[in-house]
Amino acid sequence: MNNSFFLNINKPKGITSFDVISKLRKILNTKKIGHAGTLDPLAEGVLPIGVGECTRLIEYLKDDKTYIAKVKFGETSTTCDDEGEKTFIKEPDFTYRDLEKILPQFIGKIKQKPPIYSAIKIGGKKLCDIARKGESVEIPEREIKIFEIRILDFNLPYTTFEIHCSKGTYIRSFARDIGEVLGCGGYIKELQRTKAGCFDIKDSNNLEDELKLINMEDVLPFDKYYLDEDEYNKIKNGMKIKSKIKQEDKFLMLIFNKKVVSISRISDNIIVVEKNLKG
């Protein structure tokens, strides 16, 4: 079996992303494994996994995400999802058109405050740990980007949205904030991630299935550059090489003997190693 690859796992509800890693460690008999983009226990869907040398390449994966989110309006939740303590605000009485009118304020580059129950660290402490101790803390806003929001189903008190967004976007915060604008509160009832970069739910694996291994060159968003033997010897020793072809400033996958041996950057026709990979 190839010892370096990616997996597209469909995480079920009720377990953490780390639980998925623990199960896969046993299945694959490996310690070198990691995931991209944590999913809450309540959420399900696409969880990209890197194994072996691919753990070092997770940072290079495309990091936009697509979610299907079922929001319940009329209440707030301490966790912004179905697991928290609920507070009734009022019966939602807005129309489909009312909802359409406010959606543009949530699209594009916006400021978003993460939920208090999240793993973000402030002063070295996780927000969720601070919240559980009943301590107060000022949560700074972060800039995120929402590319598109579609209403898939409108049946109050529930509405289902499809949201295409940047890395770092909290869909729980979206539910909280849109409920606040509508004046009735809102929280996430159900959440599924359907895409993470090029990893799509329709191609995903359940943990109980035979695992489909994904080659790094099939998911990394870089052009391929094929090395001759002299170039390869220089690259594996961390040396710069001159490119055979003229290319703009960008990342490349360097290939030798049909294997990706390095992630490098090319600028002014000079290729500089970013990460050399083992065998």
Positions marked active-site: 40
Backbone angles phi and psi of 207, in degrees to 5: -60, -25
Distances (CA, A) of 73 to 81, 85, 262: 11, 15, 49
Chain-centroid distance of CA 107 in Å reads 18
Q: Which tokens sit at 60?
A: 């290079």
Respond yes or no on whether the N-terminal peptide bond of residue 157 is cis (omega within 30° of 0): yes
Backbone angles phi and psi of 50, in degrees to 5: -110, 135
CA 273/CA 279 separation, integer angstroms: 16
- How is residue 139 annotated by DSSP? P
Q: What is the DSSP string of 172-230?
A: HHHHHHHHHHHTS-EEEEEEEEEEETTEEGGG-B-TTSPP--B-GGGTS-SEEEE--HH
8 Å CB contact between 65 and 196: yes
Residues in Cβ contact with 259 at an 8 Å cutoff, skipping those fewer than 6 apart: 279
Distances (CA, A) of 268 to 110, 240, 243, 249: 35, 12, 9, 7
